[in-house]
Amino acid sequence: MTDDTTGTHGAVLQDTAPDGEHPLVELRGAGKSYGNIRALHGVDLSVHPGRVTCVLGDNGAGKSTLIKIISGLHQHTEGEFLVDGAPVRFSTPRDALGKGIATVYQDLAVVPLMPVWRNFFLGSEMTKGPWPLRRLDIERMKRTADEELRNMGIVLDDLEQPIGTLSGGQRQCVAIARAVYFGARVLILDEPTAALGVKQSGVVLKYIAMARDRGLGVIFITHNPHHAYMVGDHFSVLRLGTLELSAARSEVSLEELTHHMAGGTELAALKHELAQVRGVDVEELPEESDLQAPATASPEGKS
């Protein structure tokens, strides 16, 4: 797949920064090769405070590689990666955390058997007392966790309960609340709604909006264009390791986004092939514009 900038559906549109300052995180022509395999190539992406940047793409499109570069698990092999306008190269997730880039992984967010408050402070525990007797400040941690979770609208009866007994959506929310509390400026969410039901996805989307309203830059990775369109300010669609679309909210409709996600250009090509095969009805294939957009396209969770 080459840089598809000429096709009908491959337009890479310019996104204007909200102000003249540097974006929190910026990728310029970034890419990553694993040996001979080019997993990601020529990707431009910028994350601004108080904005949600959605990264969409099918399986194998390079979404995981992209977040692994930003979260410090992998290094880019081409292009530039800038934080606050300065080039960086992270070697561990700790480096990324140090720059205020926190990642909430779909499956790695929490330790299921540990109580909620221990999970909340895991890796950044509050302590008191001099060294040989330095101990956890349990009271303060419980109180803070409770406050922070309530600020995010999560009410739990018992912070001692193992976090594994919470629902999937609640667990994601605890992880998001934790990242927000610990001073994250950029929040990377790796398919937070993938394993969730409709209602729980809604809850998570609400917290994404809430994190954005607190001034964080959010990178929201998903393969669900409907979820993306509910909270997104900018959309980047990845396909086969390259940017297929990069557009601000004002420049793209949900139908277009869905079409790109569904691999619209590929479907059109496929139509000719399928037409040769008897018994396959191709009449409806390209007319994706029939898709009904939801009545409300405004972001949820804003008050």
Partner 1 sequence: MSMTRQAEPAVTPPPAPGPKANDGRTTRRTPVRRLLARPEVGVFLGVVVVLVFFLIAAPPMRDSSSMANILYQSSTIGIMALPVALLMIGGEVDLSAGVAVVTSALTASMLAYQLSMNVWVGVIAALAVSLAIGMFNGWFLMKTGLPSFLVTLGTFLILQGINLAVTKTVTGNVATDDISDMDGFAQAKALFASSFEVGGVQVKITIVWWLVFAALAAWVLLRTKYGNWIFAVGGNKESARAVGVPVNFTKISLYMLVGFGAWFVGMHQLFSFNTVQSGEGVGQELIYIAAAVIGGCLMTGGYGSAIGPVFGAFMFGMVQQGIVYAGWNPDWFKAFLGVMLLGAVLINLWVQRTATRR
Q: In the complex with partner 1, which residue's Cβ is closer, 263 or 301?
A: 301
CA atoms within 13 A on the CB side of 7: 16
Contact letters (x/-) for partner 1, 49-68, by CB under 8 A?
-x------------------
Instruction: Decide if residue 290 touches partner 1 (CB under 8 A).
Output: no
Q: Which two tokens stand for residue 207?
A: 């917290």
Quick one: CA torsion of 188, 60, 65, 191, rounded to 10 degrees?
A: 10
What is the Cα–Cα distance from 107 to 192, expressed in whole angstroms?
9
Q: In the complex with partner 1, which residue's Cβ is closer, 216 or 257?
A: 216
Among 69, 38, 165, smallest CA distance to 110 is for: 165
With CB under 8 A as the contact rule, the residue among 2, 75, 151, 250 that binds partner 1 is 151
Instruction: Decide if residue 1 touches partner 1 (CB under 8 A).
Output: no
With CB under 8 A as the contact rule, the residue among 27, 47, 109, 228 that binds partner 1 is 109
Cα-based distances in Å from 191 to 69, 199, 212, 225: 16, 16, 17, 12
With CB under 8 A as the contact rule, the residue among 112, 291, 297, 300 that binds partner 1 is 112
Strands (E), 204-271: 217-222, 234-239, 242-248
Do the beta carbons of residue 135 and residue 175 sit within 8 Å? no
Contact letters (x/-) for partner 1, 174-213, by CB under 8 A?
----x-xxxx--------------------------x--x
List of residues contacting partner 1 (CB under 8 A): 50, 93-94, 97-98, 103, 105, 108-114, 118, 121-127, 134-136, 138, 146-147, 150-153, 155-158, 160-162, 164-165, 178, 180-183, 210, 213-215, 303
